[in-house]
Structure 1
Amino acid sequence: MTSPGLPYLPALTHLDLLARPVAETLRGWPHGERVEVLSIDPAVSDTAALVEATGMALEDCANCVVVGGRRAGEERVAACVVLATTRADVNTTVRGLLDVRKASFLAMEDAVERTGMEYGAITPVGLPAAWPVYVDARVLEREHVVIGAGVRAAKLRVPGPLMAELPGVEIVEGLAR
């Protein structure tokens, strides 16, 4: 369980802590009132540093990566959300879901520009509507998951089962190893 002593705040009343696309999505999402935000030092935004600095459980953290590939000249991009204790299976599972010959992580500059979020803080909340968001089924089993807030100075805490309700989400068994 995520460390209960951390000062989580209702995200909808602290939208100033979030990237613009994240705030816009939460305002329009029926479950937005159940999402919390934690203000952090941007220097501890990376998962390992966050866990060390706060004492939260690594198992309660999730990472979001943006992956792309091409098929017949058409670019296909998706986001993948996996628990921090695992890694997205990009070479097999994600490649198959995207139906591309080769899938790879989007370049940092490209991911930042397309999402409107900071690198290292990209979150499934507020991504471009055309992108599928693949979520590993194990994410839904967590009471809460801590994910990016679109900016390195904050993290979101979302009830695990509600991750399935985010726009564009497709739950994938075995998305991560």
Structure 2
Amino acid sequence: MSDGGPTGRQRVEVDAAAHGVAVEVVSRPEADSLEAAADLLGLTPSDIVKSLVVKRHDGSFLFALVPGDRQISWSKLRAVVGVNKLSLPRPEIALEATGYERGTITPIGSTTAWPVYADERIVGLRVALGAGEHGYSAFVDADALIAGYDATVADISD
């Protein structure tokens, strides 16, 4: 960062430690798809968790953690959150809300600690997710992530 502040991955490492979550940040070549990223990391697409920034109607946000081979189920997520309108914000809004660019987003180290909703399919897995910077992935135990960030676990994907 040009302001001399911590890098995205440093924010991830510091925040994970503060939440009692062991995180392993690894360098990886750029990938042009989720499948390519999974191949580079020796994983299946379902082992990569997409951290999606979701905007509520009131202008606040939440994180939805969904296995890479699945999509958000808007109806399921709305029911769990208890609202009737949710949307994906434009990339610049997601950056403003989290401090992370698309492709690097993670709830870990976000500039604002938005609520986290995790798809039930990640429970019990070691997963890779954004590490706050392009060219890096963060490996975490999903159960530790869920506990450390007080995530709501539910069926939120199709």
Q: Considering the TM-score relative to the shorter chain, is it more than 0.5?
A: yes
**Alignment-mate amino acid for residue 176 of structure 1:** S
Name the larger-Rg structure.
1
**Structure-1 residue corresponding to 2:69:** 85
Selected match of 1:30 from 17, 20, 23: 20
Q: Does 1:153 align with 2:135?
A: yes
**Equivalent residue of 1:81, what SS?**
strand
Selected match of 2:55 from 65, 68, 78: 68
2:127–2:141 Cα contact (<8 Å) kept: yes
Per-residue deviation at 1:160? Answer: 2.5
**Alignment-mate amino acid for residue 77 of structure 1:** F
Q: Does 1:117 align with 2:100?
A: yes
2:20–2:148 Cα contact (<8 Å) kept: no
CA-based RMSD? 2.1
**Equivalent residue of 2:153, what SS?**
strand
Alignment partners' CA distance in 1, 2:127 and 2:76 = 22
Residues 48/88 of structure 1: CA separation in 2 closer, same or farther (3 Å cut): same
Alignment partners' CA distance in 2, 1:101 and 1:17 = 36
Give runs of ≥4 in structure 1 deviating > 6 Å.
Answer: none
**Equivalent residue of 2:61, what SS?**
strand
Structure 1: runs of 5+ lacking an equivalent: 1-15
**Equivalent residue of 2:60, what SS?**
strand
Residues 168/141 of structure 1: CA separation in 2 closer, same or farther (3 Å cut): closer
